[in-house]
Amino acid sequence: MRGTLTGLLAGFLFGLGLCLSGMTSPAVVQGFLDVAGAWNPALLFVMAGGVAVTFVGYRFLVPKSKPLWASRFSLPTATRIDTPLLAGAAIFGIGWGLAGYCPGPAVVSLASGRIAVVVFVLSMLVGMILVRWMRSGSRASMPSLAAEENR
């Protein structure tokens, strides 16, 4: 129950941050990626603010042996720079540039009630399921795909 309430509060705060920062407007995100056009650095300010707080906050948590309400910190263990990481990031970047949506802002934008956003999110879920399905079937032959992920 505490974990669920934490999730709700964290999601709400995260969503507010995305809306206020302009990241829920695809035009703003694509403006950041459009370095040869009317470049909009807003996304840099979001990253700077987000990383500054998270970096300092995580440092405070490092000496702690476990989170307040769970038995351990669930941190990614993979360290290898492998093909799935590079290919995945590149594929994600292409989709991100095409539509101006990454997963967070897309989910938040569902609240606008626009069918187009629902279509994007459903397509995204299909893409995720495809990879999860492929990975579950090829775990033995492709160990790098089964590596602990940064989630």
Residue 15 makes contact with other proteins by CB under 8 A: yes
Residue 19 makes contact with other proteins by CB under 8 A: yes
Cβ atoms of 83 and 142 within 8 Å: the answer is no
Minimum distance from residue 144 beta carbon to other proteins (Å): 11
Among 63, 85, 141, 142, binds other proteins (CB under 8 A): 85
CA angle 75/14/27 to nearest 5° reads 115
Among 63, 101, 141, 143, binds other proteins (CB under 8 A): 101
Among 63, 84, 142, 143, binds other proteins (CB under 8 A): 84
Q: How far apart are CA 83 and CA 89, in angstroms?
A: 10
Q: In this complex, which beta carbon is closest to other proteins, that of residue 13 or of residue 143?
A: 13
Q: How far apart are CA 7 and CA 137, in angstroms?
A: 31
Phi, psi angle pair for 15, to nearest 5°: -65, -40
CA 146 to chain centre: 19
Q: In this complex, which beta carbon is closest to other proteins, that of residue 35 or of residue 140?
A: 35
Q: Tell me the chain's radius of gyration from C-alpha atoms.
A: 18
Q: How far apart are CA 32 and CA 30, in angstroms?
A: 5
Residue 81 makes contact with other proteins by CB under 8 A: yes
Minimum distance from residue 78 beta carbon to other proteins (Å): 6
Binding residues for other proteins, rule CB under 8 A, total 117
Among 63, 93, 140, 143, binds other proteins (CB under 8 A): 93
Minimum distance from residue 140 beta carbon to other proteins (Å): 15
Q: How far apart are CA 143 and CA 146, in angstroms?
A: 5
Minimum distance from residue 143 beta carbon to other proteins (Å): 14
